Structure 1
Amino acid sequence: IGSTNGCERTSFAFLRQELPVRFANILREIELLPDKLLSTPSVKLVKSWYIQSLMELVEFHQKSPDDQKVLSEFIDTLIRVRNRHHDVVPTMAQGVIEYKDMFKVDPVTNQNIQYFLDRFYMSRISTRMLMNQHTLLFDDKSRSGHPRHIGSIDPCCDVVEVVNDAFQSSKMLCDQYYLTSPELKLNQVNGKLPGEPINIVYVPSHLFHMLFELFKNSMRATVEFQENSPSLSPVEVTVVLGQEDLAIKISDRGGGVPVRKIEQLFSYMYSTAPRPRMDDGRQTPLALSTESVEKLPVFNKSASKHYQATSEADDWCIPSKGPKQTAAL
């Protein structure tokens, strides 16, 4: 639904069916979490947000799409739901931290939480994308200021421009925190025409967010690892356009990651960054083809089994927990 078929009634009819289904699916999976995790104040709060939003959206199931007042009320509800869920990610993360602090996390529980959060955050991205698209297209107060954009989508997204914007935002944060920051070394390969920027159909805000998180990690590692060096090595970025995909490679001289920790890097229960203060939202800690098919989590018997699976005994030895510290003489 966009430039050629931007019908508000059609979008309304689709979303009043689709959004409740997605909210209901994820609520069923929340119920499968360990009882002790479900009992944390933060997870209880997240669950209450989803229940309230589901009930508000279901109210539109029998309403007519031909009534302009209904369409306006639906937009107001979408904005209210979106605002209510603004802090879902840090609140759910706080719930996991509360659980981790109170109870020992065994491998099975860790595996279940990992499975759930992958699906939970993917579902959240999908619902926010749908709500944002509808409001940006059909709400006069929310319309995008860029005439080229179709809702939140840029049909000619300049990848290098977004890379530079994300790097400069991270650099400013790094300068504030460390009083120094590395420079950017950027190279783009396989542009459609020599000297012309690489453009793709994409959501610039999503690309910016991913790059911003990666640059923060890269800069923090570089500054801390090279704190005694006379100058900092640059963060190198290579943007490559393939026949079907676009790849962005970010590399740095920040010390790397020990092999024994590689498997932990994509675990929600692991972080090398200092724990953020939940009471201060103003400071961000320095610490994430032509046609596509949306991949979505669906609640069913197969999903339920993932929360009931037991972990078999590991048949590999446990690597050392780190280099031994030798006392100075």
Structure 2
Amino acid sequence: MRIIARLQNVSKMLDFYSQFNPSPLSIKKFIDFGLNASEEKSFIFLRKELPVRLANIMKEIALLPDNLLRMPSVIAVNDWYIRSFQEILEFEKKDPNPDILEHFCSELVKIRNRHSDVVETMAQGVLELKESHDVDSHTEHSIQYFLDRFYMSRISIRMLINQHIHLFSALIFGGLLERAPGPNKSKYIGCIDTQCDIVSVIRDAYENARFLCDQYYLASPELILNEIHHNQLEKEQFINIVYVPSHLYHMLFELFKNSMRAVMEYHNTSDLFPPITVTVSRGREDICLKMSDQGGGISRSTTDHLFKYMYSTAPQPSKSDAHTVPLAGYGYGLPISRLYARYFHGDLVLLSCEGYGTDAVIYMKALSNEANELLPIFNKATSRFYRSTLQTGDWSNQATHIGDRQISIHTKKHQLPQQESLTRAL
């Protein structure tokens, strides 16, 4: 009876908090708050904002297809979210005295650690569904829509938690601004580097990806780096940005792995491997990173699938080696990297020339006040999306796409008039 009562109470609180929209923050707001850090203010904000963000995405979990909700891994993820939601609610009406603040920080660490394997576990749940059921196009479309929003929500929640922990936990940096490696000795505010040296992060991601490439292929392509400044902007010795280095590293590491694999396999009969070129460009609105390889490129039909969670060009990982290489075989590297780019209103796009190579471009907002969080919001339109069936296509070719939005999914079967009749009509 107690369990039933507790679940009913959780359901009521989910209904209550899901009425509110999350409050997106810009990188500048994160920085401004960090410079005048008040643990009490952060506590008061997070005990409301975290339940709102959790409730918004938990309401969507309940809308997933029943077959997916019954998968053991998905049940585990759902249980983690319920438990974390309950633990945050315990602080709803508590006064922010020193003991409560310390307890709150330790609970956030526990919640963060509990959710550390959410990506892999949810991916395993999707695999369990594919292995046990036939997945129709509508179900696949719903899963793609959900996972984009679910993983973006997770990025945002971890961002809030990490900022609080890094700023106020006595166990991490003593709450002080941490000096980071690099020529400028950049300073962190929480997990944000106010002078993030982009070239340093690029080299770090390249060297780590190169290590894996050398282990597997016994060789690796070299790196060429170019820095370009907008003509009307004052040139700096280094192109820096106010950003979360771990986010940028995640994107670059994934792209380097993909490019190196393509180059090594496309030129497998040669002892010479063309280099990977990374160009960093600072413009008025965006800082762009373009990674170019000569790995043979990707066909357009394949490119359309690379950001789909239910598609992968690598073999599926076994449970024993799932943690050897991050997300190996799940096919989640590129979709989640794009979410990291879009989280602060940037983007990640692929441009490929089949038979030659591929360019991957990361866009990041140059101004920190324009780099706002992009957050999923649960509302009636969201509910309708999961319930509605795919619309009949309104273009002649169901394979036609505009950007990453498919503009026709199903087409009505019909026959064109005979050529002679068509000519007469004209």
Q: Same fold (TM over 0.5)?
A: yes
Distance 2:215 2:245 in 1: 25
Confirm or deny that 1:38 pairs with 2:79: no
Q: Which residue of 2 aligns with 1:146?
A: 179
Q: 1:226: Cα distance to partner?
A: 0.9
Deviations 1:61-112 (A, max 9, x none): 01001x1000000001000000000000000011111111222222111111
Distance 1:195 1:202 in 2: 17
Distance 1:239 1:101 in 2: 42
**Aligned residues of 2:178 and 2:189 also touching (Cα < 8 A):** no
Select the residue among 285, 291, 310 that pairs with 1:244. Answer: 285
Confirm or deny that 1:89 pairs with 2:114: no
Look up the equivalent residue of 2:388 and give its one-letter code: A
Kindly tell me: are residues 280 and 262 of structure 1, through their superposed partners in 2, closer, same or farther at Cα, counting changes over 3 Å? Answer: closer
**Aligned residues of 2:279 and 2:290 also touching (Cα < 8 A):** yes
Q: 1:280: Cα distance to partner?
A: 2.7
Q: 1:194: Cα distance to partner?
A: 4.3
Confirm or deny that 1:297 pairs with 2:376: yes
Deviations 1:102-131 (A, max 9, x none): 222221111111110010010000000000
Confirm or deny that 1:196 pairs with 2:276: no
Distance 2:52 2:235 in 1: 46
Q: 1:37: Cα distance to partner?
A: 0.5
**3-state SS of paired residue (2:321):** coil
Q: 1:318: Cα distance to partner?
A: 6.4
Look up the equivalent residue of 2:62 and give its one-letter code: E
Distance 1:174 1:312 in 2: 44
Structure 1 segment 99-118 matched on structure 2, within 5 A: 99-118=129-148
Q: Which residue of 2 aligns with 1:316?
A: 397
Give the root-mean-square deviation of aligned CA atoms. 1.8
Q: 1:282: Cα distance to partner?
A: 4.7
Look up the equivalent residue of 1:275 and give its one-letter code: Q
Q: 1:290: Cα distance to partner?
A: 3.5
Using the TM superposition, name which of 190-199 and 1-10 deviates more: 190-199
Using the TM superposition, name which of 122-131 and 172-181 deviates more: 172-181
Q: 1:241: Cα distance to partner?
A: 0.7
Look up the equivalent residue of 1:44 and give its one-letter code: I
Confirm or deny that 1:60 pairs with 2:91: yes
Structure 1 segment 180-329 matched on structure 2, within 5 A: 180-190=219-229, 193-194=234-235, 196-284=237-325, 285=328, 288=334, 289-291=367-369, 292-314=371-393, 315-316=396-397
Q: 1:161: Cα distance to partner?
A: 0.7
Distance 2:324 2:267 in 1: 24
Q: Which residue of 2 aligns with 1:326?
A: none
Confirm or deny that 1:121 pairs with 2:200: no
Distance 1:290 1:312 in 2: 39
**Aligned residues of 2:64 and 2:143 also touching (Cα < 8 A):** yes
Q: 1:230: Cα distance to partner?
A: 2.2
**3-state SS of paired residue (1:6):** coil
Deviations 1:23-68 (A, max 9, x none): 1111100000000001001100000000000000000001001x10
Q: Percent identity?
A: 51
Deviations 1:180-235 (A, max 9, x none): 11111111100755461100000111100110011111111111111101211111
Q: Which residue of 1 aligns with 2:354?
A: none
- Equivalent residues, number: 318
| Poorly superposed stretches of 4+, deviation over 3 Å | 191-195, 312-315
**3-state SS of paired residue (1:295):** coil
Using the TM superposition, name which of 40-49 and 177-186 deviates more: 177-186
Select the residue among 54, 63, 67 that pairs with 1:23. Answer: 54
Q: Which residue of 2 aligns with 1:173?
A: 212
Q: What is the TM-score when the length of structure 2 is the normalising length?
A: 0.72
Deviations 1:134-191 (A, max 9, x none): 0000001122642711010000000011001000000001111111111111111007
The unaligned stretches of length 5 or more in structure 1 are 320-329
**Aligned residues of 2:220 and 2:273 also touching (Cα < 8 A):** yes
Confirm or deny that 1:136 pairs with 2:215: no
Using the TM superposition, name which of 123-132 and 258-267 deviates more: 258-267
Which one has the largest radius of gyration? 2
Q: 1:246: Cα distance to partner?
A: 0.8
**3-state SS of paired residue (1:264):** coil
Q: Which residue of 1 aligns with 2:403?
A: none
Look up the equivalent residue of 1:299 and give its one-letter code: F
**3-state SS of paired residue (2:304):** helix
**3-state SS of paired residue (1:189):** strand
Q: What is the TM-score when the length of structure 1 is the normalising length?
A: 0.92
The unaligned stretches of length 5 or more in structure 2 are 1-29, 181-186, 335-366, 401-426
Look up the equivalent residue of 1:146 and give its one-letter code: R
Distance 1:246 1:55 in 2: 40
**Aligned residues of 2:242 and 2:368 also touching (Cα < 8 A):** no
Using the TM superposition, name which of 71-80 and 272-281 deviates more: 272-281
Using the TM superposition, name which of 212-221 and 99-108 deviates more: 99-108
